[in-house]
């Protein structure tokens, strides 16, 4: 499959994709516009005292990391949350996350809120609650006691230092003394000072053991939460972009799904794959009103659509050079696919080319040609079949035949309308008299275009296709289903009808087929009219005199001056 086959659904449904993407963008913009800015404050705590210890052991570090995870779980308990709300006077805490940093003894508390002040206060209070739950937290009485112990430790440190200095001084005197008594006295003094030093050190160690110095299960705040200056969210441009992208993807997926589910015929390639038949021409969409305005080849002969019908005429003439295509059945698979309008305009361009042409309305169920050309339907095919008689040789009596064929002013075309709707259309169209009518008319007209009912609705078109030179199917672009088209082609081929091709009708301007058939026809408006148009009654205001009725030998003085 070519790349354009993948792009085609996007080109066809571009309006759906664009509308969905714009809707998603506008909706996300309006939604994010209502969202307040979000701020984040964070506080950091340290477990243990490894940073104060110049020689921490591996067990100290591992224990601190395990304690950090324990405090993380503790911060998520309802007891901590309730204490924080009580101290801050809140009824509900904003969203917060407590996590331990990988391979460290650090705990990070992050609070997200629309108020930067509230986020900062909650982060600091949560950190404070964790500190209060640690064994090293002290009450007011204990704080006073610890202050006293610390003061005593300071005094002992001074005394220990002084005693060490005295011992050093006495040792220096001992080294300089030569008297036995002096040496003995100095040694006694040094011994007394060493005993005093040991006592001071013992007291110091005892006091230190009652404090928190060197404790492993300690928690301290090393960085308090500060007031955030800028919001961390929401990222409105990114949100709008992501939602718009999601809308685009969903719309594109819907486009491909619709194309997958759509089995209608939309291109000559579809026709070729389904039936092997050629596409004779593509006709742009016209406003179907069942009025003479739809006869665009008569009213606007220089339009691109009229030129497309001329292309259809040429394609029919050269569709099979070995067989005659003078009597042509125009039909479709289903109703309302534009077959009658195509047959009418095709007959007009045949007549404009100088060929004696008859348009025969063989749709005896829902005839429309009399409305398109504003003609009398009461004088038509059914009247002709019921009134004409055959002679002994099987030939139709020529008397009165011209009374049922009506000329179309300023076109050179003649129309045989359907006549009154009979109760048995199929029997009439398949009768020997119908065959004789076609045989007689074929001797007088170069081309006979038969407008017939749809193939799948009734058997009229199938019956007539066996008595004519060729048949042509009309396909409604984007409406005729592939299965219906295949069934119609199959029915015609079952009776060995000469299917010369398909006309793709009602092309959309967004379709590739429209571009293919109409791109080069825009210049048609700007060229000089050819000989055919100069002789056309629709362009010079004069009707032709080479029509069938003026040549009928049995026609009496019923031709008006305008017909001449």
User: Domain map of the chain by residue range?
Assistant: 3-31+234-261, 39-132, 140-211, 268-551
- Who has greater pLDDT, 149 or 173? 173
pLDDT score, position 145: 66
Cα–Cα nearest to 355, from 406, 411, 419: 411
Determine contact, residues 362/464, Cβ cutoff 8 Å. yes
pLDDT for position 415:
94
pTM over 0.75: no
Among 111-120, 281-290, 414-423, the minimum mean pLDDT is found in 281-290
- Closest C-alpha to 452, from 350, 348, 340: 340
- Domain 268-551: state its class: alpha beta
The whole-chain average pLDDT of the chain stands at 81
pLDDT of residue 25: 93
At 210 the pLDDT is 59
What is the predicted pLDDT for the residue at 266?
83
What is the maximum span of the chain, computed from C-alpha positions, in angstroms?
Answer: 180
Tokens of 252: 């594109």
Among the listed residues 357, 356, 413, 411, the one whose alpha carbon sits nearest the alpha carbon of residue 540: 411
Least confident of 28-37, 268-277, 507-516: 507-516
Lowest mean pLDDT among 27-41, 167-181, 206-220, 428-442: 206-220
Helix, strand, coil fractions of the chain, as percent rounded to 5: 50, 15, 35
Q: Picking from 280-284, 435-439, 442-446, 546-550, which range would have the lowest pLDDT averaged per residue?
A: 546-550
Q: Report pLDDT for 471.
A: 93
Averaged pLDDT for residues 26-42: 91
Spatial separation of the C-alpha atoms in residues 43 and 276, rounded to whole Å: 77
Tokens of 562: 């305008």
Q: Which long-range contacts (CB under 8 A, 24 or more apart) does 207-214 make?
A: 207/149, 207/152, 207/153, 207/156, 208/153, 210/149, 211/146, 211/149, 211/150, 211/153, 212/136, 212/146, 213/49, 214/49, 214/53
- CA end-to-end span of the chain: 58
- Of residues 393 and 30, more confidently modeled: 30
CB count within 10 Å of CB 221 equals 17
**pLDDT score of 541 more than 70:** no
Q: What is the mean pLDDT of residues 173-178?
A: 81
Measured from the Cβ of residue 168, the count of other Cβ atoms closer than 10 Å reads: 11
- 3-state per-residue secondary structure call for 162-183: HHHHHHHHHHHHHHHCCCHHHH
pLDDT at position 146, please?
Answer: 63
**Buried-state track 297-329, b at ≥16 Cβ within 10 A, e below 16:** bbeebebbbbbbbbbbbebbeebeeeeebbbbb
Give per-residue pLDDT as tens, 368-415: 998 888 888 888 898 888 876 554 444 555 555 777 899 987 778 999
Q: How far apart are CA 408 and CA 295, in angstroms?
A: 12
Q: Is 275 a residue whose pLDDT tops 70?
A: yes
Looking at residue 112, its pLDDT comes to 94
The confidence score (pLDDT) of residue 403 equals 78
Radius of gyration of the chain (CA): 52
Q: Bigger pLDDT: 9 or 212?
A: 9
| Confidence (pLDDT) at 40 | 94
pLDDT of 171 reads 84
The whole-number average pLDDT for the span 258-276 is 86
CB neighbour class for 464 (10 Å; exposed up to 12, middle 13-18, buried from 19): buried
pLDDT at site 86: 93
**What's the average model confidence in pLDDT over 417-444?**
89
Residue 547: closest CA among 329, 358, 360: 358
CA 41 – CA 228 distance, rounded (Å): 6
User: Is the model's pLDDT at 248 over the cut of 90?
Assistant: yes
> What whole-number distance in Å separates Cα of residue 553 and Cα of residue 425?
31
Note whether 127 and 72 are within 8 A (CB). no
Q: Which two tokens stand for residue 17?
A: 């994709």
Lowest mean pLDDT among 70-79, 255-264, 390-399: 390-399
Give the three-state DSSP class for 408.
strand
- Ranges of beta strands (E only) in 151-278 are 219-223
Residue 1: Cβ within 10 Å count: 5
Span 307-337, pLDDT tens digits: 999 999 999 888 776 667 789 999 999 998 8
pLDDT band, very low/low/confident/very high, at 520 (cuts 50, 70, 90): very low
SS3 459: coil
Lay out the sheet containing 406-408: strands in order across. 279-284, 499-507, 470-476, 327-332, 447-451, 357-361, 413-416, 406-408
* Burial of residue 59, with CB atoms counted within 10 A of its CB: 0-12 exposed, 13-18 middle, 19 or more buried: exposed
Closest alpha carbon to 264 in 461, 414, 476, 116:
476
- Please give the CATH architecture assigned to the domain spanning 39-132: 2-Layer Sandwich (3.30)
pLDDT tens readout for residues 459-471: 999 999 999 999 9
């Amino acid at each position: 499959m070519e790349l354009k086959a993948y792009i085609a659904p996007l080109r066809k449904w571009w309006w759906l994709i664009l509308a969905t993407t714009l809707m998603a963008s506008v909706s996300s913009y309006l939604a994010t516009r209502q969202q307040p800015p979000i701020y984040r404050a964070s506080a950091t705590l340290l477990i243990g005292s490894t940073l104060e210890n110049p020689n921490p052991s591996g067990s100290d570090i591992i224990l601190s990391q395990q304690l950090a995870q324990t405090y993380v779980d503790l911060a998520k308990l309802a007891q901590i949350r309730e204490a924080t709300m009580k101290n801050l006077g809140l009824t509900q805490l904003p969203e917060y996350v407590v996590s331990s940093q990988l391979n460290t003894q650090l705990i990070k508390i992050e609070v997200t809120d629309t108020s930067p002040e509230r986020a900062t206060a909650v982060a600091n209070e949560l950190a404070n609650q964790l500190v209060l739950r640690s064994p090293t937290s002290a009450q007011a009485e204990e704080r006073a006691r610890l202050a006293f112990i610390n003061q005593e430790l300071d005094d002992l440190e001074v005394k220990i230092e002084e005693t060490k200095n005295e011992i050093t001084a006495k040792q220096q005197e001992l080294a300089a003394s030569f008297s036995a008594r002096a040496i003995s006295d100095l040694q006694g003094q040094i011994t007394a000072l060493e005993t005093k030093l040991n006592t001071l050190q013992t007291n110091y160690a005892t006091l230190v053991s009652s404090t928190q110095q060197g404790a492993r299960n300690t928690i301290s705040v090393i960085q308090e939460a500060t007031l955030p200056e800028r919001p961390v969210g929401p990222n409105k441009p990114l949100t709008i972009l992501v939602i718009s992208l999601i809308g685009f993807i969903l719309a594109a997926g819907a486009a491909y799904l619709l194309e997958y589910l759509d089995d209608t015929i939309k291109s000559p390639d579809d026709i070729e794959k389904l039936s092997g038949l050629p596409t004779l021409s593509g006709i742009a969409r016209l406003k179907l009103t069942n009025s003479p305005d739809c006869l665009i080849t008569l009213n606007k002969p220089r339009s691109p659509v009229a030129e497309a019908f001329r292309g259809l005429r040429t394609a029919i003439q050269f569709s099979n050079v070995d067989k005659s295509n003078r009597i042509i059945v125009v039909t479709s698979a289903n109703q309302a696919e534009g077959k009658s309008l195509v047959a009418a305009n095709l007959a007009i361009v045949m007549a404009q080319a100088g060929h004696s042409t008859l348009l025969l309305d063989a749709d005896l169920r829902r005839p429309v040609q009399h409305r398109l050309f504003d003609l009398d339907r009461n004088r038509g095919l059914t009247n002709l079949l019921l009134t004409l008689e055959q002679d002994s040789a099987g030939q139709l009596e020529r008397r009165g035949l011209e009374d049922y064929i009506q000329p179309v002013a300023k076109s050179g075309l003649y129309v045989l309308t359907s006549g009154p709707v009979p109760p048995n259309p199929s029997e009439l169209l398949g009768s020997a008299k119908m065959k004789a009518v076609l045989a007689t008319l074929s001797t007088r007209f170069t081309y006979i275009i038969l407008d017939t009912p749809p193939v799948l609705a009734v058997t009229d078109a199938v019956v007539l296709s066996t008595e004519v030179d060729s048949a042509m199917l009309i396909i409604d672009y984007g409406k005729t289903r592939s299965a219906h088209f295949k069934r119609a082609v199959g029915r015609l081929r079952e009776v060995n009808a000469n299917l010369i091709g398909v006309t793709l009708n009602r092309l959309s301007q967004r379709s590739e087929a429209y571009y293919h058939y109409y791109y080069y026809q825009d210049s048609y408006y700007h060229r000089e009219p050819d000989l055919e148009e100069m002789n056309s009654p629709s362009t010079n205001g004069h009707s032709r005199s080479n029509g069938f009725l003026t040549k009928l030998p049995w026609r009496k003085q019923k031709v008006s001056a305008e017909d001449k």
